[in-house]
Amino acid sequence: MRTAGGALPPLCLLALLALPGARPLTVEDTYVQLTFFQESFPSQEKSGEFSHEFDDEEIFHVDWDRKDTVWRLPNFTTFTSFETQGALSNLAISKTNMEILVKRSNRTQAPDVAPSAMVYPENPVDLGDPNVLICFVDKFSPPVLNITWLKNGEVVSEGVQETDFYPRADNTFRKFSYLRFVPEAGDFYVCKVDHWGLTESLSKLWHSKEPTPLPETTENVVCALGLAVGILGIIAGTALCFKARQWDEGSRRRGTR
């Protein structure tokens, strides 16, 4: 069960404007308060989330299981706060309404929407320099998902962090998984995604690449071009010196007449 709406809270507005690099607000900006509660199939496990979003980017959410407010950026807590209990009350109402609707209707599972995924490094890759691989999983429903990292075919658990599920305006979800790593030549990494909407695991490959050496023929061409440019420079310089000497001698002759 999902509800949305709400105006921009003054304290959150001040927080947005106070952040470094904040731009002026415009009439196109949107602020959304979203509440959803679901029952997972086939386990009938219940979960919910209450969130505030600005232009499709989450500011914070209140997690039903943790009974706590989770801020997307720690800086927000410097300028504002949020009463967690109020959000938990809203979630409790959503939970009750969902249970009533379930009892009154035919319990049919909503269609599963399969995710898309992509893997990319956080920073430009230099072999031997620590970096972060990001696996971005998008446009899936329901928010029940497993993400597994593999290095050279072996499961990796150290250095892995994940975000919560971020709701989208089209009622699907997105999620990020981060893997800290040191790129080495020949290593390959796989982000494997499992979801009810997939008939098999979705795997996205990323691998470290050594700097590609220039072919021998290309090196010869580059050397030849460099030599040709150098020769042309010598010829041009010699010609200019000879021409300048002629002009100087001509000026002297005209001066003696």
- Locate the domains of the chain by residue range: 2-104, 116-207
pTM for this model (two decimals): 0.55
CA distance 7 to 33: 8
* pLDDT grade for 4, boundaries at 50, 70 and 90: very low
Helix (H) or strand (E) segment spanning residue 162 = strand 160-162
pLDDT higher than threshold 60 for residue 24: no
Compute how many other C-beta atoms are within 10 angstroms of the C-beta atom of residue 38.
20
CATH value of 116-207 in 1.10.287.1080, 2.60.40.10, 3.40.640.10, 3.40.50.880 = 2.60.40.10
User: What is the CATH topology of the domain spanning 2-104?
Assistant: 3.10.320
pLDDT of residue 154: 95
Give the contacts of 135 (CB within 8 A, at least 6 positions apart): 117, 118, 119, 147, 149, 176, 177, 178, 179, 191, 193, 204
Write out pLDDT tens, residues 55-104. 667 778 787 777 888 777 767 667 677 778 888 888 888 878 877 877 77
Q: Which residues contact 8 (CB under 8 A, 6 or more apart)?
A: 31
